[in-house]
């Protein structure tokens, strides 16, 4: 489908496609098998200015917004959802700064992040605070010009390899989520250490780690926004980043579909390629149609954000929900098209199925997305009634 992309958007998409085909595809299976983070790809993406895509020009960015980020993430994920994640998660970790950082903070951190020499991570989740993000326990107690952080974060993508961590804490635990504050905590800050890295079903080329804060002293200049605004900034961050998860899901689905179509032409049964059977054609048709619908919604939401919409929580949740469910379905069907070969690790599609699963879970489970959408609908109806 033609989305009438601008010249710059086409350039980013094609460049990402080239990197994916030439550099990522050849190492994807090995990184998955060995659970290896591909630093060489990060370096390539950095050299090609990928980390500048979504940043504003005044901070050294290319000003290509959410749409630019979505196109790049989708194309990279088409080759490997895990490898693309190191890149996409850095954008998530940077997002609180874009949402609520001061000009001084942006000037201090964004050039480093835009160069791709430093990665970022977003640290909200704790062992007892997943979907219920408001129940975090990590505290930040004011002490002169510093805040002293204590607690731990887990399931953090890029956790342990990021130079900068956006950490959601409680500066006023009695006020719950209204007492939350976000800090940009640099690697090497005394009192910050890293716990265990988890082994995973999919996205194995990405790092998922723990951050441990023990009397970790962070200067007040690293507080993003104001004390007490942390939860809202975290939610606004997720509103902006969920189209990125949708893009990752689109890429995974497209990669799985590409393989399924190719294989169906090569595999012969009953004296003919299985692609000639209506049963296979119907399957491919449903996969492609659902994928295109998810892509149209995701691009629509990215464009809405870039056009300056102020409230896009509902739409952002919708594209994450739809694209990730479609990715899981398409990848599972691709395995079905491959038959017995589909579950063998020598063939590419079982990895797409494993990589797809997390897109239904992280940055808010799809049950939470439905809850965000449902609440927004009820709120919209209530405000219409008042008018």
Closest residue by beta carbon to ligand COS: 364
155, 198 contact by CB (below 8 A): yes
Closer residue to ligand COS (CB): 60 or 209? 209
- Shortest approach of ligand COS to residue 130 CB, angstroms? 6
Closer residue to ligand COS (CB): 2 or 174? 174
Radius of gyration of the chain (CA): 21
What is d(CA 138, CA 123) in angstroms, rounded to the nearest whole number? 11
- Shortest approach of ligand COS to residue 169 CB, angstroms? 14
- Shortest approach of ligand COS to residue 367 CB, angstroms? 10
What is d(CA 174, CA 172) in angstroms, rounded to the nearest whole number? 6
- Shortest approach of ligand COS to residue 176 CB, angstroms? 8
- Shortest approach of ligand COS to residue 362 CB, angstroms? 4
Q: What is the DSSP string of 24-55?
A: IHHHHHHHHHHT---HHHHHHHHHTTGGGTTS
| CA 245 to centroid of chain Cα atoms | 4
Which residues contribute to the site for ligand COS (CB under 6 A)?
Answer: 122, 124-125, 131, 133-134, 177-178, 231-232, 235-236, 238-239, 313, 362-364, 368, 371-372
Closer residue to ligand COS (CB): 46 or 133? 133
Residue 225 burial (CB count, 10 A): 19
Q: Quick check: is 40 catalytic?
A: no
Q: What is the DSSP string of 100-121?
A: H--HHHHHHHHHHHHHTSS-EE
13, 69 contact by CB (below 8 A): no
Closer residue to ligand COS (CB): 233 or 280? 233
Residue 255, φ and ψ in degrees, nearest 5: -60, -45
What is d(CA 45, CA 36) in angstroms, rounded to the nearest whole number? 17
**Pairing relationship of beta strands 272-273 and 268-269 according to DSSP bridges:** antiparallel
Closer residue to ligand COS (CB): 222 or 241? 241
Q: Which of 329, 363, 367, 380 is catalytic?
A: 363
Residue 374 burial (CB count, 10 A): 12
Query: What residues are labeled active site?
Result: 363
């Amino acid at each position: 489908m033609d989305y009438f992309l601008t010249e710059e958007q086409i350039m980013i998409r094609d460049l990402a496609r080239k990197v994916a085909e030439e550099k990522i595809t050849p190492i994807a299976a090995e990184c998955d098998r060995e659970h290896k983070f591909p630093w060489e790809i990060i370096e390539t993406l950095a050299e090609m200015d990928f980390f500048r895509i979504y940043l504003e020009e005044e901070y050294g960015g290319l000003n290509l917004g959410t749409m630019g980020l979505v196109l790049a993430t989708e194309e990279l994920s088409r080759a490997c959802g895990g490898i693309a994640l190191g890149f996409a998660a850095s954008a998530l970790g940077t997002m609180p700064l874009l949402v609520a950082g001061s000009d001084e903070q942006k000037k201090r951190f964004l050039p480093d992040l835009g160069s791709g020499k430093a990665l970022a991570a977003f640290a909200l989740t704790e062992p007892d605070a997943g979907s219920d993000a408001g129940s975090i326990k990590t505290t930040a107690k004011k002490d002169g010009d510093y805040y002293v952080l204590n607690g731990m974060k887990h399931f953090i993508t890029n956790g342990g390899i990021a130079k900068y961590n956006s950490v959601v804490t409680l500066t006023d635990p009695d006020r719950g989520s209204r007492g939350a504050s976000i800090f940009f905590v640099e690697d090497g800050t005394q009192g910050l250490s890293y716990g265990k890295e988890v082994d995973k079903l999919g996205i194995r080329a990405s790092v998922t780690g723990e951050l441990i804060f023990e009397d970790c002293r962070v200067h007040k200049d690293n507080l993003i926004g104001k004390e007490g605004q942390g939860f809202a900034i975290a939610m606004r961050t997720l509103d902006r980043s969920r189209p990125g998860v949708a893009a990752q899901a689109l890429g995974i689905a497209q990669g799985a579909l590409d393989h399924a179509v190719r294989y169906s032409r090569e595999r012969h049964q009953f004296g003919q390629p299985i692609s000639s059977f209506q049963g296979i054609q119907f399957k491919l048709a449903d996969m492609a149609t659902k994928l295109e619908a998810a892509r149209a919604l995701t691009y629509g939401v990215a464009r809405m954000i870039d056009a300056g919409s102020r409230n896009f929580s509902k739409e952002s949740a919708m594209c994450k929900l739809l694209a990730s469910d479609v990715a899981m379905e398409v990848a599972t069907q691709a395995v079905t098209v491959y038959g017995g070969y589909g579950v063998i690790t020598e063939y590419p599609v079982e990895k797409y199925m494993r990589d797809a699963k997390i897109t239904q879970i992280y940055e808010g489970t799809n049950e939470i997305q439905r809850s965000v959408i449902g609440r927004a609908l009820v709120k919209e109806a209530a405000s219409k009634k008042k008018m």
